[in-house]
Structure 1
């Protein structure tokens, strides 16, 4: 009865947010469906624009990723992916139905219409071949929280640099400058009496701000139409989970980065708002 008393319809916007799957199913049938859903998206996107090694200049240095990348993926393909992907009910914010509805609603306003999709490897896991013969040589390793038995729960999915994979060097540099401007090495963040050093990579909020709003003064155009979906095949053999011990095929996880926007589009979500506030803070 407590849930009934605290249930509430929240109005949510994901603009300017990063969402990543850190609580996932460990049921084999659901994991197979999610893998099939990822393969259908990959097949729908056709030949990758970049394959095997993805390269980006970052200042004077080059960064590399192992994997495949597609540009200009339609909102319909992304919404269809979320429609079929089964997220875990304990992951309240990373809810695939909400994400589907948000993408479709934003696309109707002319935003989130042209996506970047990346399928990333480069971990320490085994090999897996996806639709179209695209092979990830080394799947990602993410260790399961052994204290949580009813699902596959990890600490963090994305490597911070991954969220900027769709930015060119100019946009990346502007996002870094914004990150440095916002940097505040306050005493509360000191470790062993040493202040944290100035960041040398842009943080997520700055990446999403510059992607969505650009910087006219720096010649970086806004791109509120461009979302970013990152797919990660996790090696179940390296998860350290008894429930996944017999599985060979990857557990598919995703991160989705939404550019900043003033569109005001929101989706409705019926949820226990007290539990939501405990995990994410107050919502509208």
Structure 2
């Protein structure tokens, strides 16, 4: 019913999906189920602008009344209030944004417990889809959650760079300091060297960024890291000799469709705050883009 109203009020399936934090296929599936229950077509046409059938128009009126009563009941029972706990997933490579992110959440929701989980963005998006997480943020183009029925919010392209404490050995393969697979930073750095025809070899492989930074400081090699962030942790850029620049990577977040509106807005603000310290292309103003 809520999906039907979103389509009727926004004027399209795609706009309804963005409003509800769902994918467009999920919205279409909701309408197919509703049509099966009603035993009649709800829309005469769906493109370019959905046109309701007589049955659809009648359902919209019933939906408004039903949902108004539902929301009123929830408000009376106190269930429209912010949740008692907010759980956020974040890629380890973006964990330096956690202090600002958590501070923003605590300012918006005093007394609400905040929990954080790190992991691969694809796996975190699956947890959002199953409603084990309220939101997740990581390196990806926003499509990571589509197969799980949640829509991605694209924030911009994250700049990457090469960091190393010692000059590279002349004439030999570039010694790389990398995170264990699967890792976007590792793959992006290696792809850049391959495109340029630059020979390379793995000099150190570690389980986390702390180990990678320690290996770079020890002079074991160079690492592809997020540019101008605490991920580099004071490490000098590797410019001797200069290496081909790694391709910027998309930065996105996913949100649970079951979140109360006030919680979703607060999480979006908090993620923006946390990501603001990173070097995002074309600019950090891209943090205010709401949809892919």
Alignment TM-score, normalising by the size of structure 2:
0.21
Greater fraction of residues in strand:
1
Alignment TM-score, normalising by the size of structure 1:
0.21
